[in-house]
Structure 1
């Protein structure tokens, strides 16, 4: 479920310390009910996913088209990413986060883990169109338990980046993220069922 921006901005998360020049694009509630210690499992599940195994054929097709366009237009060339076109946000982290392990890395995909705490995790990616962040947090839900929350923050790269973000906005909000969230929820329920059987 899509949430208002305040669901992210009102939280006392560390991500706010390093994203003053990024724009908050989306905030989503994740149907991943759990206890206070379940956040690492959510992060591990998320990073082990892959765009090629998205449950939606439309979303898989859109990702495949995006990767082909990126290759054709040079959007994802090595000199367009972190450490080349833009510095990593790890350089902005306060010392306690910078000196700690950054968290689990993605199995596939362009994102690199920035930091992991007991209730939040962030990863970044950059290409010729944007410098982007995925932020996941662990929040209290209305039942007194906890659930995940995901936010996407971006810094578009000039006119190309702004045009790209405007062009993909409807697809991202109507197809890609809803199908990705369904996959997260399905995997979470399966993992919870396995843990209950042990």
Structure 2
């Protein structure tokens, strides 16, 4: 784990007990519905969620058994509390998306929601998702990205140091371009996307 990754991990460890409350307004306004939409696209029996956080996606899981990882022990602890009430079998592990401890071609679908805004090496993490996904399998991402509007983008660049310091999130990343640079056979931005929140589907 790099020094930058360790700094971000510690930040999320501190935020974990309060994280759901911090993001509650954004969840109510727009995110909850988008979480459901991206999870409706998940296919297959072997599913991996990366960046599980506090387990916000548990209500949308399409299967009874899913593997889920996060690099923050405190986030995994919060997720384990929700798991008890979910009625699902969720295999939770502490793991860095930049260095996954899974074999090649292992999962039918890999999914992450609002993860790559906080990963220090996003391309490295994306290549790891591709590696552990089976040929023909899908990587599904829900990410906030830099606006295509020049004025909005300039504001996002100005605000980024603040959001990074407060919640460890970069709001000015161009994640679609990073996914496209990873050599997937097909990359789609789904129609439910907005200017600054993208639903991305990449086929290995």
Higher relative contact order (CA 8 A, sep 6+): 1
TM-score interval for Structure 1 and Structure 2 normalised by the shorter chain? 0.3 to 0.5
Structure 2 length-normalised TM: 0.31
TM-score by length of 1: 0.32
